[in-house]
Chain A
């Protein structure tokens, strides 16, 4: 079975600062993918970033980047220059095998103006 653990139920950051959200995972699959999704109060699920496990290079999307440590099974999300619109629940997700996507319990990110 696959598991995803997000150990930070809530994080707070000042606007324009940088914040890192933690995620660890466990899987027996050799081929898998990792994702971060954002869920603002509108409850829409928005894909933030995607990482292929076979790629050593960390994925980046504008102000969002990941630190993927395969041996440690760690997949953290860094948000640079935080903006008020970044306030949301952030879910780490693991995909591989026949189990669809397995989600962590989420981190509620608060942006302080």
Chain B
């Protein structure tokens, strides 16, 4: 009965490959997010979706594309992986955009070799 679940937990792949990370939340939240945590532990928002509409898109390369088939899912697709994409990627959800805390998944450690 995990609230926010993301798979896989670990992902090791070679440069140039395309990969996806899946995320599902069973909290009934309206907004879902993807965050990137770099090697220095800095967390930066990549995307958020509210009722299947993209509402934030920070300066993220267009190789990264979020896809939300429904309110409970927000998957992250990454094309042509680069070494610099190695990081921990967190999915999160919240009840609304202002004030509600984020509930995080356990993260996916992506290693690009």
Contacts and interface: CB of A to CB of B under 8 A. Distances in A.
Contact of A33 (B88, B99, B103, B104): B99
B101 A47 contact: yes
Interface in A28-51: 31-33, 35, 39, 42-45, 47, 50
A100 B101 contact: no
Contacts of B103: 47
Contact of A103 (B40, B43, B55, B99): B43
Contacts of A102: 45
Given A100-B33, A103-B43, A105-B41, A33 B98 contact: yes
A31 B41 CA distance: 28
B101 to A, nearest CB: 5
Interface size class of B (residues with CB under 8 A): 20 to 34
B7 interface: no
A99 B90 CA distance: 16
B68 interface: no
A78 to B, nearest CB: 19
Nearest to A96: B98
A101 interface: yes
Instruction: Bin the interface of chain A by size.
Output: 20 to 34
Interface in A63-95: 89, 91, 95
Contact of B88 (A43, A47, A100, A101): A43
Nearest to A48: B101
Given A45-B90, A100-B56, A95 B106 contact: no
B48, B56, B101, B103 pick with most chain A CB within 10 angstroms: B101
Contacts of B42: 103, 105-106
A72 B33 CA distance: 30
Given A45-B90, A106-B41, A97 B106 contact: no
11 contacts: A32-B98, A39-B41, A44-B104, A44-B106, A52-B99, A89-B41, A98-B97, A99-B45, A100-B33, A101-B45, A101-B102
Interface of B: 33, 40-45, 48, 55-56, 88, 90, 92, 97-99, 101-104, 106-107, 109
